[in-house]
Amino acid sequence: MTTTALPTADDLQAQARSALERCGVDLDLLTGEQTSHSPINGETLANLSWTSADEVDACVARARDAFAIWRDTPAPARGALVRRLGALLMEHKADIATLVSLEVGKITSEALGEVQEMIDVCDFAVGLSRQLYGRTMPSERPGHRLMETWHPLGVVGVISAFNFPVAVWSWNTAIALVCGDPVVWKPSETAPLSALACNAVLQQAIAEAAAPANLSQVVIGGADVGQRLVDHQDVALISATGSTRMGQAVGQRVAARFGRCLLELGGNNAAIVTPSADLDLTVRGIVFAAAGTAGQRCTTMRRVIVHESVLDDLAKRLTSVYERLPIGDPTTDGTLVGPLIGGSAYQAMTAALGQAQDEGGKVLVGGERQLADAASDAYYVQPAVVQMPQQTQIVTRETFAPVLYLIPYTDLDEALSLNNAVPQGLSSSIFTEDQAEAERFMSAAGSDCGLVNVNIGTSGAEIGGAFGGEKETGGGRESGSDAWRTYMRRATNTVNYSGELPLAQGVDFSV
């Protein structure tokens, strides 16, 4: 089911300007030679100037100056700033969500959910500001105390991708700020307006808290700007979200200067569907994870490893739901599938479907372009389900589009092997009513992913848990749990109050 009417360029530009103005963005910034397009209609959304690579150096220098003040600010006071940021994000939730929809094509409920995720991580970080715990360990020497303390790390560079244009920034920024670190943010080139709005909201919070003005800065530009940030000796941590290829380049460059990296890269996420699975629940979990955000999440479900006894039933159910998915303008009520980010994503999807058929796959539903007559430069597609005879070459590669492969299995050992037999290791699920199967899936010999779920899909992680994956996903962890340690440096402290000088390990060095 496809809606046919799309908004005009004037309509979208007016919405964007109104949202930006309410967030406190100077509209004079919307001048320049670089054009931003909306995937909703493929037309110009705004023009603006990009930051030059040379300007990155000045931003980092200002951040270093802010760090000298912020690292000595008590952590609970740093948390007060983040508390105010969360309140302002709540106030501007609808405006930022509007910009997210206009720039990357998310349906309204998903865009609002992304901003809610920002608010939630601020709540988490505020509590964390009073819990940056170290440890005290027993010393082997009498009259000594052995402990560890955690200190602010330095300037954090954040490079974010288009599919979560604001949430990923907030995961890093809220935690970095309570840990005592300033942030320099290089957003996706496709989502500069969302970044300007978020930065303006944070700048208001900074001013109200009388915090250093340059705790947060945005550098908008292309690969040269990102590379300058990656290579800068004064950037202590680079948190980068994107493709595996990008992460390989970033990781090597940061390692060459002995900096730190937090990488969130590709995903090729699978769900195992067992004979005991509740198929009604399973279908709901699969459809959101596979078709939500038009298949453009790093946690999007791309493979369903389904027991041969329920394969035909599940395939029929999924095909029926996919045929009825409402596709079109993401800002319209009732739409569930918005546009792809651009033509290259559509081409990648078409190529993947062609290769899947060459490798023996059968397209059960989807793959066709929609609304091409209404907007030639906008790329709407019907999400596709492809039944494969086995896990072939194309299935092991991530295609950042709504293509879902169904792969049969005969026993759980085979299913676990298929789940793990891809280079990526981000998210995974099992649908089962058998407790033993669930426990095996979560065990050390089960899924090798960073996110391992039971009876839910692969998308929709909560901020309380650490988010990230293994293998070519990069190994990074953001958001909850103890991910805060990435943004701090550890010191091991030994205090001698004995009046003597015994050496460790019984060493005798008397003089």
pLDDT(2) > 80: no
Pair of tokens at residue 118: 């920002």
Q: Which stretches within 24-137 are classed as H helix?
A: 53-70, 75-91, 93-104, 108-128
Domain ranges of the chain: 9-265+474-478+486-490, 269-466
User: Which homologous superfamily is 269-466 in?
Assistant: Aldehyde Dehydrogenase; Chain A, domain 2 (3.40.309.10)
Which H helix or E strand runs over 317?
Answer: helix 311-323
Domain 9-265+474-478+486-490 falls in which CATH fold?
Aldehyde Dehydrogenase; Chain A, domain 1 (3.40.605)
Q: What's the chain's Rg over C-alpha atoms? A: 24
Contact between 401 and 290 under an 8 Å Cβ cutoff? The reply is no
Q: pLDDT for 277-314, tens place per residue?
A: 999 999 999 999 999 999 999 999 999 999 999 999 99
Q: pLDDT for 200-220, tens place per residue?
A: 999 999 999 999 999 999 999
Tell me which residue of 478, 484, 491, 474 sits closest to 255, measured CA to CA. Answer: 474
Percent of the chain exceeding pLDDT 90 equals 96
252/250 Cα distance (integer angstroms): 6
With cut-offs at 50, 70 and 90, classify the pLDDT of residue 3: low
**pTM of this prediction?**
0.96
* Side-chain half-sphere exposure of 434, counting CA atoms within 13 A: 12
pLDDT(481) > 90: yes
Q: Please state the φ and ψ torsions of residue 206, each to the nearest 5 degrees.
A: -60, -45
335/342 Cα distance (integer angstroms): 19
414/359 Cα distance (integer angstroms): 20
162/52 Cα distance (integer angstroms): 20
Tell me which residue of 420, 359, 421, 428 sits closest to 388, measured CA to CA. Answer: 359
Mean pLDDT score, 69-97: 98
Mean pLDDT score, 92-112: 98
With cut-offs at 50, 70 and 90, classify the pLDDT of residue 405: very high
Of the residues 264, 398, 437, 478, only one is catalytic, namely 264
Q: Please state the φ and ψ torsions of residue 499, each to the nearest 5 degrees.
A: 80, -5
- Give pLDDT, residue 90: 98
Q: pLDDT for 162-187, tens place per residue?
A: 999 999 999 999 999 999 999 999 99
Mean pLDDT score, 53-80: 98
Does this chain's domain 9-265+474-478+486-490 share its CATH topology with 269-466?
no
pLDDT(480) > 80: yes
- Give pLDDT, residue 510: 85
Task: Provide the pairing of β-strand 403-409 with 301-307.
Answer: parallel
CA 255 to chain CA centroid, Å, is 22
pLDDT(4) > 70: no
Which H helix or E strand runs over 192?
Answer: helix 192-208
Q: What's the chain's average pLDDT?
A: 97
For the question of residue 308 being annotated catalytic, the response is no
Can you tell me whether residue 504 is helix, strand or coil? helix
With cut-offs at 50, 70 and 90, classify the pLDDT of residue 375: confident
Mean pLDDT score, 101-114: 98
